[in-house]
Structure 1
Amino acid sequence: MNSALLDPERQFLGCLMQLATDPARRVLSGMSPADLANPTASFVLHLAIRAVANDQPPTPIMLFEHAQEIAERPRASRLHEVAVWIADTYQAAPLAPEQHATHLKAVVLKAAWRRAVAEHAQRLLQAVAESSTDELSELTEDTCAVDEVWSRYQAALNHNSVSARLEVGA
């Protein structure tokens, strides 16, 4: 079984690769490559954001062209791995990409938020053992990164709710 079928990040990117520029721009709103845990997925999202910023659809060939452009010293083996990853991801993507992409965006952002919370908790645990009380107090209050991902996740959820109500009403 293709692992892309079970990976929400890859499913999200596979849907994204099927979209025209304007729908892709809507789906990418509020997304960051750092939202994805898989380094290759993160890189491909960066390529998609770059393509859409240049008013190009995030198709597999366009993503690969951008990968070739930004590679400092294009290593044939790494570019080949990225090309295969993109092709597998595209091939495993669900149909009705825009509807699935908005749902998968929320799934991906939920996972990103959970990772941000875990990273913050890890910093707190380390600070408990190694930092002064004042530093620990500051760190407990510094939840900006976690809050920012939470806001984007909530926005994605709200967009899904609005889309579902509009679909049912139609």
Structure 2
Amino acid sequence: MDTAHPLTDPERQFLGCLMWLSADQARRLLTGMRAADLADPMATFVLQLAIELVADGHPPAPVALFVHAVRTGRATGEHRQHRLGGWLRETYSDVTPALAGWLKTVVLENAWRRALTAHAQRLIQAAESSPAEIVRDLADDTTAEELWTRYRDTLGESAGIPRLDSLRGKAA
């Protein structure tokens, strides 16, 4: 069950922005992104669909995402199709596509923080009762480091998609 409203959920806002982009713009925005970077299962599902569409040279418009899900057998049945269609509609509306680059950074930072928290929890559990060799192996978590690198890369990105800091002087 979705608890965050689409207007305040960075993952949904990111995906909403993505749906407004051409295939080339979306390809640049998706550089360094993985579906697993998102926490919400529906958002993860939609991002995977978008990655596949963009890889085939198609823009990730809502109708294209919906048709791709149906054609690939991942949105079977009236209930699933209705739910996906409603989710795409809500996510597509009320976004500011110019914030896509900044939202990517927010999404990756959140993914890094989740990975770091999960790693810390595993370390705490292992440190209490596991053999030292297991704790040592757990200390070398490459997932959090890899996410940190992708997050940091987005801070200096200029993939042709405006970032929030480039819009500040234009809003007044």
Q: If the length of structure 1 is used for normalisation, what is the TM-score?
A: 0.88
Report what 2:93 is aligned to: 91
Q: How many residues in Structure 1 have an aligned counterpart in Structure 2? A: 163
Counterpart Cα distance in 2 of 1:119 and 1:28: 24
Residue 70 of structure 2 is matched in structure 1 by: 68
- 1:167 to partner: Cα distance: 7.7
SS at match of 1:145: helix
What displacement does 1:71 show?
2.5
Q: Could you tell me which of 23, 38, 49 is aligned with 1:36?
A: 38
Displacement of 1:135: 1.0
Q: Deviations over 1:91-115 (max 9, x none)?
A: 1212xx1x31100000000000000
Moved more, 123-132 or 16-25: 123-132
**How far off is 1:128 after superposition?**
1.6
Which runs of no fewer than 5 residues in structure 2 stay unpaired? none
Aligned-residue sequence identity (percent) comes to 45
- State the match for 2:145 in structure 1: 147
Distance in 1 (alpha carbons) for counterparts of 2:73 and 2:120: 35
Is there any run of 5+ residues in structure 1 with no aligned partner, and where?
none
Please report the TM-score for the alignment, with normalisation by the length of structure 2: 0.87
Three-state SS of the structure 2 residue aligned to 1:159 is coil
Q: CA RMSD in A?
A: 2.3
Q: Shift in Å at residue 73 of structure 1?
A: 7.2
More moved, 105-114 vs 70-79: 70-79
CA distance in 2, matches of 1:101, 1:14: 9
Q: Deviations over 1:64-106 (max 9, x none)?
A: 0111122357122012101100011001212xx1x31100000
What is the one-letter code of the residue matched to 2:150? R
The one-letter code matched in structure 1 to 2:104 is K
